[in-house]
Structure 1
Amino acid sequence: MTALSAAERPAAAPDGTGAAEILRRCRESVRPALTAAIGRLHPWPGEMASYSLGWCEVGGAPSVDGGGKGLREALAVLCARAAGARERTGVASAVAVELIHTFTLLHDDIMDGDHTRRRRPAVWKAYGTGPAVLAGDALFALAVETLADAPGPHGPAAVRCLSAALNDLVRGQADDLLFATRPWTGPGAVALDEYRAMAEHKTGALLGCAAALGAVLGGAPREVSDALGRAGRHLGIAFQAVDDLLGIWGDPAVTGKPVHSDLRSGKKTFPVLAALGAAPSGPRGPAAGRLAALLDAGPSEDCAVRRAASLIEEAGGRSATLEEADRHLARAHSCLDTLPSGPAVSELRTLLASVARRVR
């Protein structure tokens, strides 16, 4: 197998239509099976699941929203193809991963107190906290059932793969919640390596699972599923870094969140930690020192939040985060270098390229 250089690797078209078309085709290939799975739920949790996926409004009327981009579905489908698995294996894996992803979003919004998701009320705001928890639990159970019922002898291995990812995800979510209680600077501050571990668990675990699951369910060699899983985890860290940038400088029309939302909530994100130095010795440079003082005061007014964003950029937080994303995307590409070249791998590379383009 010949490794591709960075110049040879396919990139998304400048307007992102390459990746958008890949995502659309993968969503369409998964949608019938995902719809059938949701249809097996009790009607009430099923409606909440459909609402969360963007398929309907409260009460069940069809939605014009269309839902998310389906990155995890696409990863599952394309990685299964890259591993030589049957199409139905990739679809079953994509359904299981998308059910788990939706479950995590329902519970995350409750834990984080987020009132909106994709420019609509979060499920817990639209239906109530208890019902949202119930719908999330139903989706979790349905995901496990989907893999357990998949044809072939590798269902148990796929369930173990999903369970391991969920354990990592819980670990990452726990660390993320605990970070909120720690100071911005000083001995108790969050170090960048701690943040990277959190991001790999919270975001990378499920993307890694999405990438590996079809190969595991299809009985591919261990080295193939491992390479795909590593690629997905690196993609997850890069994806989280980009999300952190969007949480500070993102366009609300694209992110569905208010501008500077992470700064207003005091969330420990990579750009802020990088700007502060993320070391026990404290902030580095005058911009970092001014930023630390501002964060300790808890910026809430628009002018203070804008000032904080400016200081983060001045102290190098934005550039450091872009470098972090690029570094992990390059590592994801290197993992794909170990696989035989083909259309699926080429499309995976296009998706990787599209992640960084979200903020450039």
Structure 2
Amino acid sequence: MTASTASAGSTDPGVAVLEWARELTGPALRSWTERLPPAVAGWAGYHLGLQDEAGRPLRGYWGKAVRPALVLTCAEAVGGGARDAVRAAVAVELVHNFSLLHDDVIDQDALRRHRPTVWKLFGVPAAVLTGDALLALAHRVLAAVPGPETVSSIAMLSGAVEELVEGEALDVVFERRSEVTTAEYAAMATAKTGSLMGAACGLGALAGGADAERALPLVEFGRHLGLAFQIVDDLLGVFGDPRTTGKPVGSDIAARKKTYPVLAALASGAAQGRTLAGLYASGDPLSEADLRWAALLVTDAGGVRAARLAVERELEAAFAALAEAEPAADSRRDLTALAHVLTRRNA
């Protein structure tokens, strides 16, 4: 089955592509995770949703499969087969989950996907070591079957990891700075989120038989989509419903994160933005009433409107890059549908 046959006739083709990618990638992800050293395999299986905290197997992988969907669909976009790109999809998803495990420790997030995070349940060392193991495993997955694209794929993935780490480091630095511009934030978020989504598209193209030059426009498509995806995630961090996001209400504001809508509100010059700045500068914990008030301040100061405009700009740039890649018509429709579902979500 291809992405196009999976999405054909669906009321939401983008969701259908995600479900197809999850079904195609899930068994391979489970198989590779079981090859981890026993000391970390259980923690990894718990984080990925393959088993519960007691080690009892669960039915399937709980991730959204965003990055595997990009890998598999981009492989088809250049004339290759999705099954030829499954290893690349697994590798990218392992790197993504490495970053999530470390993110949860850095941000001290107690919940992910409606369950306690690994560090919260098993301790910080468990989360750090599991993340390290997934990163190493990702490179082993790509190297497992030597081929003409193997060296290029490993280099592309490694470059994305370096950029991702740089983005994470900047995110930490920004928390300590009193002023951050939306342009600085966009560069950080492109590194933190866009780098791996760009690599997902590029790795899919390489696995599908494209050379590095043909893969470049698809990489750019993924990078722009990644920034749009992150800004939407920022909006959910302010307004998301805990029942769908799996995180506490207003979690980003509670942590006083400088996300795109917050930064746009702070830079607005409006009275609401100044009030928000005072709230952020206060060292006092924020109550649920404070969080609701802060969300209203972000909206009234124009932060939400600015964030949504930024999402639309990045989508336009992503679609321009996709057109330059000249993908197969069916794949172009699938990637467009996928981009729309990723930037119009509520979880």
Pair 1:84–1:263, CA change in 2 (3 A):
same
Q: 2:301 aligns with which of 303, 315, 320?
A: 315
Q: Distance in 2 between matches of 1:174 and 1:163?
A: 17
Q: 1:340 aligns with which of 319, 327, 332?
A: 327
Shifted more, 68-77 versus 27-36: the winner is 27-36
For the residue of structure 1 that corresponds to 2:328, the secondary structure is coil
Q: 2:219 aligned with 1:229, yes or no?
A: yes
Deviation for aligned residue 1:126: 1.6
Deviation for aligned residue 1:66: 4.7
Tell whether the 8 Å contact from 1:16 to 1:354 is kept in structure 2 after alignment: no
Q: What does the per-residue CA deviation read over 1:185-218, in whole Å, with 9 as the maximum and x for residues that have no partner? A: xxxx101111000000000001111111122344
Percent identity reads 44
Q: Which amino acid aligns with 2:305?
A: S
Tell whether the 8 Å contact from 1:109 to 1:122 is kept in structure 2 after alignment: yes
Tell whether the 8 Å contact from 1:78 to 1:90 is kept in structure 2 after alignment: no
Q: 2:134 aligns with which of 133, 139, 161?
A: 139
**Number of residues paired by the alignment?**
338
Name the structure 1 match of 2:336: 349
Q: 2:69 aligns with which of 69, 74, 96?
A: 74
Q: 1:98 aligns with which of 68, 93, 98?
A: 93
Greater helix share, 1 or 2?
A: 2
Tell whether the 8 Å contact from 2:50 to 2:61 is kept in structure 1 after alignment: yes
Deviation for aligned residue 1:71: 0.4
Matches within 5 A, 1:254-273: 254-273=244-263
Q: Distance in 1 between matches of 2:346 and 2:57?
A: 31
Q: 2:301 aligned with 1:306, yes or no?
A: no
Tell whether the 8 Å contact from 1:99 to 1:143 is kept in structure 2 after alignment: yes
Q: What does the per-residue CA deviation read over 1:258-281, in whole Å, with 9 as the maximum and x for residues that have no partner? A: 11111111111000100111xxxx
Tell whether the 8 Å contact from 1:235 to 1:332 is kept in structure 2 after alignment: yes
Tell whether the 8 Å contact from 1:165 to 1:206 is kept in structure 2 after alignment: yes
Deviation for aligned residue 1:164: 0.6
Give structure 1 stretches of 5+ with no counterpart: 1-11, 184-188, 278-282
Name the structure 1 match of 2:236: 246
For the residue of structure 2 that corresponds to 1:125, the secondary structure is helix
Name the structure 2 match of 1:328: 314
Q: Distance in 2 between matches of 1:268 and 1:150?
A: 42
Q: 2:149 aligned with 1:154, yes or no?
A: yes
Shifted more, 146-155 versus 237-246: the winner is 146-155
Q: Which amino acid aligns with 2:158?
A: S
Name the structure 1 match of 2:3: none
Give structure 2 stretches of 5+ with no counterpart: 1-6
Deviation for aligned residue 1:243: 0.4
Deviation for aligned residue 1:65: 7.8
Matches within 5 A, 1:29-178: 29-63=24-58, 66-178=61-173
Pair 1:67–1:43, CA change in 2 (3 A):
same
Deviation for aligned residue 1:46: 1.6
Deviation for aligned residue 1:64: 6.1
Deviation for aligned residue 1:151: 3.8
Name the structure 2 match of 1:26: 21
Tell whether the 8 Å contact from 2:26 to 2:61 is kept in structure 1 after alignment: no
